[in-house]
Amino acid sequence: MADIAFLLLIFFLVTTTLEVDAGLPRRLPVASSDKPSPIPERNLLQVLVKEQGAIMVRGKQVTADDLPGLVMDFLTNPTNSDDRPAMIALTPERCAMELTAARSETGIALWRQRAVAVAVLGAYREPPSGVQIIVTTANGTRYADFIAVQDALEQGITALRDSVSLTAFGKRFAELNEVDPTGMLRIQVVRRAVPHAIGEGIWADR
């Protein structure tokens, strides 16, 4: 009897999970009276979710399944198109050159980070700072539709980070170990190459 009781106890101990809150973390833009400095149109991917759940990206109707692809296209700009961000091509030579040419402290810090990233990843392309994917909604949009869009955008970023991580380290991004220093460095570098550029666009509609 005691054996069975122990077995049961251990079974339930192992299988019951305490509810942990999970979700999609976001950061709201700072409220200030002065107008935000305008972001160049090519650096901005506006996603509008309409009342009936229709999704418009830059004025064209798309489905939720298209969104991850669009995000990947936007953040890598493989065709060097004019309507997507101008990518910054980074090579060891360029980093060394810019680092000696840099005068300001922020400039030096930025190019140091890029030099580290190049050392780990090899030559790569980085989107300019300030690229943003922004989701706007109509007043009557269902919350579930909004979250579905946020989730699809998140999937795009995860896929992109995975592909960078897989080519460079042979592991998916989520499998990189954040405890040991090399793992942490790899995570930072992948985050540099593929920034989590999903912003909150509530300033855009008022």
Partner 1 sequence: MSRFKEKKSGTPAISTASLPDIIFMLLFFFMVTTVMRETDLLVKITLPEASETTKLEDKALVDYLYIGPPMSKELGTEPVLQLNDQFAKLNEIDPWVSAGNERRDEVLRPKITRSLKVDKETAMKIVTDVKQELRKSNALKINYSTAQGR
State the residues that interact with partner 1 by CB under 8 A.
1-2, 5, 8-9, 12-13, 16, 18-31, 49, 137-144, 146-148, 150-151, 154-155, 158, 200, 202, 205-206
Q: Whose Cβ is closer to partner 1: residue 120's or residue 194's?
A: 194
Q: Whose Cβ is closer to partner 1: residue 5's or residue 103's?
A: 5
Angle 132-135-164 from CA coordinates, rounded to 5°: 45
Question: Least distance to partner 1 from the beta carbon of 140, Å?
Answer: 5
141-170 exposure pattern, b = at least 16 Cβ within 10 A, e = fewer: beeebbebbbebbbbbbbbbbbbbbeebbe
Q: Pairing mode, if any, of strands 132-137 and 44-49? A: parallel
Question: Least distance to partner 1 from the beta carbon of 51, Å?
Answer: 9
For residue 137, CA distances in Å to 148, 150, 195, 197 come to 12, 12, 23, 18
Which amino acid, residue 39?
I
Q: Whose Cβ is closer to partner 1: residue 76's or residue 150's?
A: 150
Question: Least distance to partner 1 from the beta carbon of 200, Å?
Answer: 7
Question: Least distance to partner 1 from the beta carbon of 95, Å?
Answer: 31
Q: Whose Cβ is closer to partner 1: residue 13's or residue 100's?
A: 13
Q: Whose Cβ is closer to partner 1: residue 64's or residue 115's?
A: 64
CA gap 24, 87 in Å, rounded:
27
The CB-side HSE value for 168 (13 A sphere, CA atoms) comes to 25
Question: Least distance to partner 1 from the beta carbon of 72, Å?
Answer: 14
